[in-house]
């Protein structure tokens, strides 16, 4: 069973940066559920939305329209982590951010995934 644990959230001022990290555990040589990884976010009163969907084997990344080149996704297979570096943060980026695994494109568009972390809060003040 894949388990995900996010860290790195916090409070920053507009224009600042944060790097979120997701530690992946429970991987075996037969694990395929982490072939697709994603970050989502959900602000109070709003639907969960996809930040990035990553197919590392194909080096394919799909970004939410709101990202506009400000965020970077990386994966460290030796450490079993994925990271989301966020630059030029805006107050509207304030949300709970979730790491997810085993995500199809249609599921990502619907805010769904098979495996979830517990989330990490990002708060951006103006």
Q: What is the mean pLDDT of residues 105-122?
A: 96
> Token digits for 116?
């979830």
List, for residues 60-108, the tens digit of each pLDDT value: 999 999 999 999 999 999 999 999 999 999 999 999 999 999 999 999 9
Instruction: Inform me whether the pLDDT recorded for 29 exceeds 90.
Output: no
Instruction: Inform me whether the pLDDT recorded for 57 exceeds 90.
Output: no
> Token digits for 50?
């996809």
> Token digits for 26?
């429970």
With CA atoms as reference, report the closest residue to 126 among 94, 81, 86, 84.
Answer: 94
Percent of the chain scoring above 90 in pLDDT: 89
């Amino acid at each position: 069973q894949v388990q995900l644990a996010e860290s790195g959230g916090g409070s920053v001022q507009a224009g600042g940066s944060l790097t979120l990290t997701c530690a992946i555990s429970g991987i075996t040589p037969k694990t395929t559920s982490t072939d697709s990884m994603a970050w989502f976010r959900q602000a109070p009163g709003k639907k969960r939305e996809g930040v990035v969907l990553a197919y590392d084997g194909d080096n394919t990344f799909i970004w939410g329209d709101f990202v506009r080149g400000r965020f970077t996704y990386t994966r460290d297979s030796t450490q079993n982590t994925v990271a989301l570096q966020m630059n030029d943060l805006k107050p509207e980026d304030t949300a709970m951010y979730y790491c997810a695994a085993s995500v199809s494109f249609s599921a990502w568009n619907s805010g769904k995934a098979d495996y979830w972390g517990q989330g990490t809060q990002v708060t951006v003040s103006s």
